[in-house]
Structure 1
Amino acid sequence: MSTVLDVKDLAAGYAGSTVVRDFSLALDRGQVLALLGPNGAGKTTTLVAIAGLLGRSAGTVTVDGTAVAAGRPRATARAGLAFVPDDRALFRTLTVAENLRLAATGKGRIDEVLDLFPRLRERLNVASGLLSGGEQQQLAIGRALAQDPKVLLIDELSMGLAPVIVEQLLPVLRRVADETGTAVVLVEQHVRPALAISDFAVVLAHGTEVLRGSAAELLAHPERIEAAYLGEAPAA
């Protein structure tokens, strides 16, 4: 396996205030990482900074050896990094098919997305603004995958969705990682389902890493995550 996402000593924030500091991460192809933590922990800021959509006050991000600079979204996409924001950022007046065509690197990629999300095939001519929340999230993820990314960043997949829908979507990400080698970083509030499809997890609190480990280990010891969420030192 080879490292596809390498984040070193990342620091970022807003209006001169640092929100995330000293964050580092290395992911190999096909690995899934759950980025966890309470509200306000800095998860979204971390993801947006990795994606280059927020200026960084320190640190570097590389995708498959190519540096990802802040403020250059097209260059970021060309480097192989795709980002799904928590608001999904769909073109709401465009149909499912049109949203996919705008992002796709080729027709074959659209076919692969529709195989992953058969419901979208049934809704190809429907404006994305008329889709259900679950369908919109499928489309947002599908549009990102249509770019044939090396790294997929997803912020708050479960936002506004029923738990049963989340449980249906998460295994798709595991399948994508296993079958395509895409590395996935997932910010998610549903801790156990996220860990169930992940290889590793990092817990943030107040913009700083407070816990890191294999997903299997953390699933077996949920008290360590609970302590991290409460700001206590997790037991070794």
Structure 2
Amino acid sequence: MSAVLECTGLHAGYTEAAVVREVSLSVNAGEVLALLGPNGAGKTTTLLALSGMLRCSKGTVTVGGVALGDGKSRRAARAGIVLVPDDRALFKTLTVTENLKLAAKDRKRGDEVLDLFPRLKERLKVNAGNLSGGEQQMLAIGRALVQNPKVLLVDELSMGLAPVIVQDLLPIIRRVADELDTAVVLVEQHVSLALQMADHAVVLAHGSEVLSGSAQELLDQPERIEAAYLGGHKAA
């Protein structure tokens, strides 16, 4: 099976100095890749580079085998990459319905989103700014999904949310991959929860990949995760 999203030897940053270096990853349709690592490891920078919002100084990003241009967010969006940023970027003065309609490409996908997030059905006329943190995250993911992404990038799903809310949201990400055949790259600080629903994982430290493997393999060997987080070196 060929990867929907693939990046090889990725270097990216905000100045001439690269924040992430030699990052390589691939995700197939229907798979979830957990992108893990301590604060400052380069996870958000990697997602920004994958989505075309940040220029790659080196390396390639491809969707369906077609290379994307450096720093070309519109081209990445047309190729099917959609990013849910860590601040959610909702239109706070617009209702749930209006936020979804602005992004929707077809009504059928909107219905599928409301099936995934039945809570939003009860809040359709509520302004996004008046939603709870969990509801806002549901809406941010829903707004991404109505764009029919081939690749869904989710940055810090659990930002500002109680663990019990995260436990409810992560299985929905799994359903997105399974039922919509979407490739998902998920940045998440709740490591064990992320690994329980992901297929594969990559751990970054100091801007470089220090560990990768199947999610189950890493879940079964927590000492390797700990070494990657604390040591920042290649975990054996």
Cα distance in structure 1, aligned partners of 2:65 and 2:96: 33
83-92 or 23-32: bigger deviation: 23-32
Q: Which shifted more, 69-78 or 6-15? A: 69-78
Deviation (angstroms), 1:156: 0.3
2:166 aligns with: 166
Aligned mates of 1:218, 1:65 — CA distance in 2: 28
Partner of 1:135: 135
Give structure 2 stretches of 5+ with no counterpart. none
C-alpha spacing 1:232/1:103, structure 2 compared with 1 (3 Å): closer
The answer on whether the counterparts of 2:211 and 2:235 sit within 8 Å (CA) in structure 1 is no
1:20-45 Cα shifts (integer Å, max 9, x gaps) = 01111111111111111111111110
Query: Partners of 2:103 and 2:232 in 1: how far apart?
Result: 43
Residue 58, structure 1, aligned to residue 55, structure 2: no
| Deviation sequence 1:139-169 (CA, Å, 0-9, x none) | 0000001111010000000000000000000
Q: In the alignment, residue 89 of structure 2 is paired with which amino acid? A: A
Structure 2 equivalent of residue 100 of structure 1:
100
1:122 to 2:122 alignment: yes
Measure, in 2, the Cα distance between the counterparts of 1:143 and 1:232.
35
Letter in 1 for 2:45: T
Asked whether the equivalents of residues 171 and 197 of structure 2 are also in contact (C-alpha less than 8 Å), the reply is: yes
**Residue equivalent to 2:221:** 221
State how far apart, in whole Å, the 2-side matches of 1:8 and 1:235 are.
Answer: 20
Task: Give a deviation string over 1:54-101, Cα, whole Å, max 9, x none.
Answer: 111011111112322244333222111110000000011111001101
TM-score, structure 2 as length reference: 0.97
Two-structure CA RMSD over aligned residues (Å) = 1.2
Structure 1 unaligned segments of length 5 or more: list them. Answer: none
Identical amino acids, percent of aligned pairs: 69
Q: Distance in 1 between matches of 2:126 and 2:106?
A: 21
* 3-state SS of paired residue (2:57): strand
Q: Give the conservation status (yes or no) of the 8 Å contact 2:10–2:58.
A: yes
Residues 36 and 201, structure 1, Cα contact 8 Å, conserved in 2: yes
Letter in 1 for 2:111: D
Q: CA deviation at 1:235?
A: 5.7
Alignment length, in residue pairs? Answer: 236
2-side partners of 1:67 and 1:80: how far apart?
A: 13
In 2, are the aligned partners of 1:225 and 1:234 still within 8 Å (CA)?
no
- Residue 123 of structure 2 aligns with an amino acid whose one-letter code is R
| Aligned counterpart, 2:67 | 67
Tell me whether 223-232 or 141-150 shows the greater mean CA deviation.
223-232
Distance in 2 (alpha carbons) for counterparts of 1:232 and 1:119: 40
Partner of 1:146: 146
Q: 1:94 corresponds to which letter in structure 2?
A: L
Q: Tell me the amino acid that sits aligned with residue 181 of structure 1.
A: D
- In the superposition, the TM-score normalised over structure 1's length comes to 0.97
Indicate conservation of the 8 Å contact 2:52/2:73, yes or no.
yes
Cα drift, residue 232 of structure 1: 5.7
Q: Provide the rounded CA distance (Å) in 1 between the counterparts of 2:233 and 2:47.
A: 24
What secondary structure does 1:14 align onto?
Answer: coil
Aligned to 2:113: 113
Please state how far the C-alpha of 1:52 moved relative to its aligned partner.
0.6
Question: Runs of at least 4 residues of structure 1 off by over 3 A?
Answer: 232-236
- State the Cα distance separating 1:18 from its structure 2 match: 0.9
Could you tell me which residue of structure 1 aligns to residue 195 of structure 2?
195
- Answering whether residue 208 of structure 2 is matched by residue 208 of structure 1, we say yes
